[in-house]
Amino acid sequence: MKTVREPASDVPVVAEADVLVVGGGPAGLAAAVAAARNGMRPLLLERYGYLGGLASGGMVLLLDDMSDRHQRTVGGIAQEIVDRLVRVGGAVAPPLDECFKQDIELWWRWARWGFEDFYARTQPRPTTYAASFDPEAWKRISLEMAREAGVTLRMHSWFSRALVEDGRLRGVIVETKAGRQAILGRVVIDTTGDGDVFASAGAPFVHGRYMLSLVHRLAGVDVERAIRFEREHPEEAKALNTEVKRIIGGSWDLWWLRTPREGVVWCNCPHIHGLDGLSVEDLTHLEEEARARFVRAAAWLCGHMPGFERAYILDAAPQAGVRQTRLLEGEYVLTKEDVVEGRRFPDVIGRGRDYFMPYRCLLPAGVRGLVVAGRCFSATPEAQKLSREIPPCMVMGEAAGTAAAMAVQAGIEPSAVDVPALQRRLLAQGANLGLPAQPDAAVRGPRGA
């Protein structure tokens, strides 16, 4: 491969922060808000002109993994954003008295919202607690939460490289329309999703792969008619759904779901395998191939699927649906067995559906001054596939922001944060750790057994 040599240059330091959060997706928002609420002056860097990452820009419009088979398991900032979205009409969530029940009428009421227990082996699947939201509402509420907390935002700033001195991360360089700029932070949190910061800083990681998507929404759908047809003509509906999924070329069983917007449905597809979310060539192929597929599918639907006669493509996600790329190899690597068996950890900082995340999964090996949160956290590729949903990523973000604030306040590294004290703060903030209210005896440090 040919190379060119860049000339050396001085990069202006345009900002400094107590806590620097790189990546304004769900985990990054939670991290920045948590740091601010714990007394810091956080700065949140984002490459696009909005917050939300794969939630808003990637249009992953279903918040799941928020409950087990009996109760809600995710609290804190993740639950707060759901509550705020519901209040402004930007989200729909089922009432708790209709959750965790196996009832055919409840299934027909909520399944097309995505509020079913995908892991249940019984039919009909029980209703679960989840939320369907509108992407523009997410952007609005995210900005409100950041502004209210006192978070400083710098958008349109694309991460370029980490600034490391003597094994400690001091800040980052970003590319902007005004040229290269440097931002310094006493503690840095990597919530880029792809682990851009920890990779540049030299932390160990593995390169995983999972299917990519370019999701889209259809408008002009008579949702009630479509559901009624499926209920009254199950065999015919099954045949039609099988055909549209063949045209799309990869999707979940329920290839369309309801949204809070009248007549608008969300299509979490097509899924395209064998691509690398770090490859420009593969990402370009995704944009071209996925659009060709869902354009064909939309045309077919208008002539064949009851309720979709007037359907049209409303929009496609401006961000590619990347599920897995770099995964940190941190102080502890979460395994598939940890997730499947619901193993508990003494340094737990949060949970998803029925699995738990230890603080050590947020701590890189060999790089000081850095915390990691979101889908690039320390887990095997198999474990990450089962634990990468948006709510648990926000749980990790809240823990990372809280721990970063504690580290700055105490003048210590994030790895030296007192875990029982961190757990107490998280519990006070509404987190669900699966621990007693007073976790003092649980662990004496992040490396507890």
73 pLDDT more than 60 = yes
Q: Which residues pair with 65 in a beta bridge?
A: none
> Which pLDDT score is estimated for 173?
98
Closest by Cα among 269, 276, 271, 287 to 208: 276
CB 266 within 8 A of CB 313: no
Integer Cα distance of 2 and 228 in angstroms: 60
Burial 141-158 (b: 16+ CB within 10 A, else e): bbbebbeebebbbbeebe
CA–chain centroid gap for 26, Å, is 5
Integer Cα distance of 317 and 298 in angstroms: 16
436 band by pLDDT with thresholds 50, 70 and 90? low
> Which pLDDT score is estimated for 437?
54
> Which pLDDT score is estimated for 440?
43
Q: pLDDT of 326-358, one tens digit each?
A: 999 999 999 999 999 999 999 999 999 999 999
What does pTM read for this prediction? 0.95
> Which pLDDT score is estimated for 449?
30
Please state, rounded to an integer, the average pLDDT across all residues of the chain: 95
Higher-pLDDT residue of 441, 133 = 133
Q: pLDDT of 217-253, one tens digit each?
A: 999 999 999 999 999 999 999 999 999 999 999 899 9
CB 82 within 8 A of CB 92: no
> Which pLDDT score is estimated for 435?
79
Integer Cα distance of 355 and 125 in angstroms: 20
Question: Lowest mean pLDDT: which of 27-41, 90-104, 434-448?
Answer: 434-448
What is the average per-residue pLDDT within 291-303?
A: 97
> Which pLDDT score is estimated for 107?
97
443 pLDDT more than 70 = no
178 band by pLDDT with thresholds 50, 70 and 90? very high
Q: Name the residue type at position 396.
A: M
What is the average per-residue pLDDT within 278-295?
A: 98
430 pLDDT more than 50 = yes
Higher-pLDDT residue of 155, 439 = 155
Give the rounded percent of residues in the chain with a pLDDT score beyond 90.
95
CB 364 within 8 A of CB 354: no
φ, ψ for residue 191 (rounded to 5)? -125, 40
Q: Name the residue type at position 211.
A: M
Tell the burial category of 302 from Cβ atoms under 10 Å away from its Cβ (0-12, 13-18, 19+). Answer: middle
Integer Cα distance of 446 and 423 in angstroms: 11
381 band by pLDDT with thresholds 50, 70 and 90? very high
**Residue 182 in tokens:** 């440097």
What is the average per-residue pLDDT within 204-213?
A: 97
